Structures are given as C-alpha cells and as structure tokens.
Amino acid sequence: METTEIDVDSPGRGVADITEAVLSFCAGMGDGLLTVFAPHATAGVGLMELGSGSEADLVDTLDRLLPRSERYHHQHGSPGHGADHLLPLLVSPSIVLPVVGGRPALGTWQSIVMVDLNADNRRRRARLSFIAG
C-alpha cells in the first residue's frame, strides 16, 4: 500500500477542493483502489460538482440540519460547535475510489472535496492510501 498525508487549507465553513492533490498522488500508480480519509472529528470528504453554486447549497443544507446553537451537550469552541462534531455522521470521513491507469475514475463533474464547518480549525489533513489491483 502507498500512503501519504496532504495538508488542506480549510475555508473555515465550507468546501475545500483536494482533487489536484489526489490526482498528483495517483499519477503513475496504475489500477487499484484509493481511500481518501479525513482524520478529524469535525470534517468529512465527498464527491461533488464545484463552481455551480453547489458548495453554498451544501453549507446551507448542513446548517439547516445542524443548526449553530447552544442546544448541544458538546460545548467548547465557538458557539454551536457541538454541531461540527455531528458532521461526519452526514458527510463520511472517508471515500473509496477506483483508480484506472493512475487516475481516479471520477465522473465528468465530480471533484474530491473536504467538507468542514468548523471555523475554529483551518489547518486540516487528508490521508490518501492506494492499494494496487
């Protein structure tokens, strides 16, 4: 297994595109499976179309599902931070992608993203692990 960790600059409440870093990691690897993992209690990873307004739609939807308030038992950090700890239950902390010829087999409009609503921590990491097929 080949593995590495990449640094991700989080927008602090939004979506960070990590597609280029993933493409760079997979280049020359051949065929196999890639796992993208966010080793954080308040962030997740996923696939989505970028640049069409979907990023704001996602944040708005997550804010409706996980409103920022003092209602959470988990209370430290910014007001409403307890909601951040529930995010990985809605946006998975990991995804597995097929890699064909050294490239993740993404759909036409798919980008690989880290979703982070935690404004308290802007420095994130993602672990990339490739298993040859």
The residue range of the domain holding 93 is 2-132
Domain total for the chain?
Answer: 1
Q: Are strands 2-9 and 123-132 parallel, antiparallel or unpaired?
A: antiparallel
Q: What is the pLDDT of residues 3-32, one digit of tens each?
A: 999 999 988 789 999 999 999 999 999 999
- Model-level pTM? 0.93
Structure confidence at residue 74 (pLDDT): 76
Q: What CATH number should be reported for the domain holding residue 56? A: 2.60.120.460
Radius of gyration of the chain (CA): 15
Structure confidence at residue 50 (pLDDT): 97
Per-residue tokens: 98: 């097929």
Q: Which of 116, 124, 111, 132 has the alpha carbon at shortest distance from 8?
A: 124
Could you tell me where the DSSP H helices lie in 29-130? 54-65, 87-90
pLDDT-wise least confident of 59-63, 66-70, 76-80? 76-80
Q: What is the pLDDT of residues 79-124, one digit of tens each?
A: 778 888 999 999 999 999 999 999 999 999 999 999 998 888 889 9
Count of helices and strands (H, E) across the chain = 3, 8
